[in-house]
Amino acid sequence: MTYDEILEETEEKMAKSVENFTNELKGIRTGRATSGLVENIRVEYYGTLTPLKQIANISIPEARQIVIRPFDNSSLKSIEKAILKSELGITPTSDARMLRLNVPPLSEERRQQIASQVKELSEKAKVSIRNIRRDSIRKADQLEKDSLISEDENEELKEEIQKFTKTYEEKIVSRYEEKKKEILEI
């Protein structure tokens, strides 16, 4: 592995960690309806567990309502069952063609619980970033040990890795703060 490959791999992995964290945040309930609450719920569709977003149209007609229109009406019962099994805590109402989910407002206590869950997720994401940094620094040290780069180049590479770490940790903190603000808004 070369100097540039280590940097490229480090940045790519850190970006994926931030992306995973962002996707986890989409599924966390706030007082508002968002398609992210339901789009990744797995529905049994012709014997295969399929994300809801692949078998239905999800829309938000009002601030506290989600409407799910399956592409195939025969999957309506399966979608309803999957939503009830999920830990969403919302019971869908059904007519023959679509499901409606009315998102109830959150109590202050529940908002605080969700905010602390988001904090835990952000900490896990930061740990992931730091683990990537640790692995990349080990690879840099190995390059120096194998005499493929000089000591100065190794230090420079470590500085670049640290810059990536700082940048991606800031992105995680930023997304955490946005989500926390969204959760705690009444």
Range in 47-61, 97-111, 124-138 the model is least confident about: 97-111
| Phi-psi category of residue 46: left, alpha or beta, with phi > 0 → left and psi -120 to 50 → alpha | left
- Residue with the bigger pLDDT between 34 and 162: it is 162
E strands along the chain, which residues?
A: 42-45, 48-51, 56-62, 65-70, 93-94, 99-102
- DSSP secondary structure letter of residue 116: H
Say how far apart CA 87 and CA 84 lie, in whole Å.
8
| Residue 186: predicted pLDDT | 59
Say how far apart CA 32 and CA 77 lie, in whole Å.
25
Is the pLDDT reported for residue 68 higher than 80? yes
Which range of 2-6, 130-134, 142-146 scores highest in mean pLDDT? It is: 130-134
- Amino acid found at 83: I
The predicted model gives 81-95 an average pLDDT of: 86
Q: What is the rounded average pLDDT for all residues in the chain?
A: 90
| Residue 67: predicted pLDDT | 93
Is the pLDDT reported for residue 35 higher than 70? yes
Q: What is the set of domains in the chain, with CATH numbers?
A: 3-26+107-184 (1.10.132.20), 35-102 (3.30.1360.40)
- The whole-model pTM stands at 0.72
